[in-house]
Every structure is written in C-alpha cells, then in structure tokens.
Amino acid sequence: MKKRIAAIGFAVCLLVVTFLAGCGGNTNSNAAPADNSAAPADNSAAGDNATAVTAGGNGPYQFGVNTWGAGVPMLDSFGDGAEFSSHALGNTTIRASDDFTADKEIANVQNFASSGVDGMVLSAAAVTTLPQIAQTCSDAKIPFVLQTFIGDDKDIATLADSNEYYVGAVDSDMVYDGQVIGQKALDDGMKTAVIIGGNIGDNNMDQRTQGFKDVFEKGGGKVLFEARCTDPSETATKAEDMLAANKDVDCLYALVGDYVPGSLSAMDKLGLTGKINVYMSCVDEASAKLIKDGTIKLGNDGITLASYIAPTLLQNYLDGNRILDNSGKAPRFRTIPFLVTQDNVDAYMSVFCSPDTKPFTEEMLNKLIVAQNPDVTYQTYVDLIQSGLKLDAILVAHGLPATGTSAS
C-alpha cells in the first residue's frame, strides 16, 4: 500500500512539474486505492432518478452489492437503496442475490473480490458468515461496509478492533421496533398475541421479537405462539396452523411486510378476518395500502434508511476521509423506526412508495460526503439519524408538508 501511495505521489509530482497544474483529492493509508480499469460496462448509469455527485477522491468506484434474496419486495428494497446512493455518488455497482443461503452469500463476496471491485456494500444476513466474509475482503484488500443485516454484535466489535478494511455498519434499532409495536398493542387493549416472521437466527427477526415480548409480556400480555419461516412462501401454511390452534388470540404481529399476505390469507380461510388486530414492522407498499384501508392496525418502518447511508461511509473511506466513531473505530449506526398509521400513511407513501422518489435526497447524501461537506464527522451521522430521518423531516427534505402527527 505504501509503495502504491508513494508511486502515485511521485506521478502526481511529475504531472505538476510537466503541466504546471495543481492536483486535488486526499489520500489515507487506511483507504484502499481504486483501480477501475476493469470495471464492466453494465449498471454504469445512475438509475432510479439519481443525480450524480462529483466524488472527491479517485472515483468513480465500482461497488459490489448483495441481497439475501431476490423477488421479495423488502429484500429488494435494501439492494435498491444501496444502489441508489452508490449511483448518486457517481459509482457503478454489481449486484447479486444470496438466494437465501449462507454458501451463496460467501460465494458472492468471493466473486466480488475476484471481479476487482473497489468496495462492497454487504448484507450479512446469514449472520455466521460474517467472519469469513470479512477475511475475504481483508485478503483482497477491499473495504466493505455492512447494511441492514450486519451479523452478530460480537463479530462487529471484533472487526472494529482488528480489520482495517471494515468501514462500519448501519442497521435499524430492531429491539426498539418491537417494543413500540408491543406498547401499541397494549394501548389498544390486546391481551394475547401470536408472532410470525423469518427464520430463527436472523437478527432482524429475533431482536424485534425480543423487543415485542419485553414490553407486551411485562405489560400483562401473553404471546401464545411464534411461527418462524425459512422464507415468505411458508407463511400461509404456518400462519394457518398457528391461528387454527389459537383462534381466540387478540392480535398478530408480522415481523416483516413479506409475511403479511400469507397471514391474511390464513385468517380469511379460518374466518378470522376482522376479529384479530394485525400489527407489523417493515412496511412496504402493499402493506401500506392495507394500513390505509384499516386491514392492518399500524406498522413501523424506516428499515430501508440504513441501505442509503451505508454507501456514504464507503465513499468517504475510498476518498481518503474515513469516518470514525468517538473511540477512533469504524462506526456502528442504528436508524430509528417510525410509526405508519392511517393518519400519516398517504404522506408516507408519497416518499417511500413512489417509483419516482427515494427517501434520501441528493442534498441529504451531500451532507454525508466529505468531498461535498468538509465539515462532516461522525457526529453529522448521529445528528441526521436522531433528527433528520423521522418521517416529517424526510417529507420536509423533499419539499413536502410535515404531517404534524406524533407518530411522525
């Protein structure tokens, strides 16, 4: 790395002497220089109405982006968010699905490394794969950032202490997510609940369940059963089995929007439609419409915001302006879920469910990039998450009126 940086510095000096021109950009011994000579032509254009932002280092770069699966709206949205920000920053992307398997997740990272990408925006959805993923990136000297699915907390702490190519992690506060739903169910007079969601071991599911139970059961409620699915295709069958054995239950909590359709189908088949309150996390377009018509009582969302933020950490790293936390380590950021109710669902859909709009604006991205905002620090990210990513703040950033509701 030192030899490369020295060579680059010498070459730049020669250019200065030869052409009497200044040179810009920053270098940092912690950042891996980019080599874009072999970047493929596919995905080269900024999509999703992204506006390219001029990079301040050696970019544009090429990022590898994985998703746990393809064809599932929520999972697709995580990849879409990562690609949107990456493209808006002027970069290209290679995207791959893990097909819901740990082996494919590892293989995708290895393929990204073999392709010579400049960085990776990764979802470690299989959890136990993270140490091997991190080693692959380290061996290839390719920086990586984790988004939404970030593996085990202990592994994250180890990476922050030992892996110079680990740039940071951004996910949602999923324990809080479940706590909010649990409290809302209690507020509505619910005494019993069943839960349905993805596979055990998936932190996105386990932590929401933990949060819901902490609040609901301590508040006097009782969780009668919890059905967990390998993927959404199992929802209808498992929901029917669960509800058939608990027909008197007060409410159902779907951990992700992908598990709502099958649950509603099971309720309809058993004659329980309208008799059970439905709550959820990770609202998507289909479930937002169900909140609007009252089929679903309410839900939490904001889960996709992490996918928009993560590429900015990678961009800053590659530009030679690495963002570090107050301990001098790669940061861990957690976005805060917000409620989607009948009172604010139309406003929510205008930003989160419109094909022509993304939650993050160009201005929001610029504020997180050192090349555009020399004053950006770790605290800039903290401040954005605490106050700038509530629904009303996002609406205002798009030039739309705030809802003024307490849920926003």
Domain ranges in the chain are: 2-173+304-338+368-397, 175-301
Examine the pLDDT at 226 and tell me if it is beyond 50.
Answer: yes
The answer to whether 52 touches 88, Cβ cutoff 8 Å, is yes
pLDDT band at 56 (very low <50, low <70, confident <90, very high): very low
**For residue 378, which of 343, 339, 327, 344 has the smallest C-alpha distance?**
327
The per-residue pLDDT for 94 is 98
Residue 41 has pLDDT above 70, yes or no: no
Say what the pLDDT of residue 190 is: 98
Q: What is the pLDDT of residue 368?
A: 97
- Where residue 87 falls among pLDDT bands split at 50, 70, 90? very high
Residue range 313-333: mean pLDDT, rounded: 97
More confident residue, 184 or 36: 184
pLDDT of residue 50: 37
Q: Percent of the chain, pLDDT > 90?
A: 80
pLDDT band at 285 (very low <50, low <70, confident <90, very high): very high
Q: Using the predicted structure, report yes or no on whether residue 19 has a pLDDT greater than 50.
A: no
Between 40 and 386, name the one with better pLDDT. 386
The pTM is what? 0.83
Q: What is the pLDDT of residue 355?
A: 86
Assigned CATH topology for domain 2-173+304-338+368-397: Rossmann fold (3.40.50)
Domains 2-173+304-338+368-397 and 175-301 share a fold: yes
86-99 b/e (C-beta count within 10 Å ≥ 16 → b) = bbbbbbbbbbbbbe
DSSP 34: P
CA 141 to chain centroid, in Å, comes to 24
Give the integer Cα–Cα distance in Å for 61 and 40: 11
More confident residue, 131 or 7: 131
Does the pLDDT of residue 58 top 90, yes or no? Answer: no
**Residue 85 pLDDT greater than 80, yes or no:** yes
Determine which of 11-25, 313-327, 338-352 has the lowest per-residue pLDDT on average. 11-25
Looking at the predicted structure, is the pLDDT value of residue 16 above 50? no
Would you call 64 helix, strand, or coil by DSSP? strand
The pLDDT-based confidence of 57 (bands split at 50, 70, 90) is low
β-strand partners of 260: none
Q: Which CATH class is domain 175-301?
A: alpha beta
Q: In the prediction, which pLDDT does 407 show?
A: 73
- Given a cut of 70, is residue 7 above it in pLDDT? no
Listing DSSP states for 116-153 in one string gives T-SEEEE--TTSTTHHHHHHHHHHHT--EEEES----H
Lowest-pLDDT choice from 57-61, 135-139, 216-220, 257-261 = 57-61
Average pLDDT over residues 345-368: 94
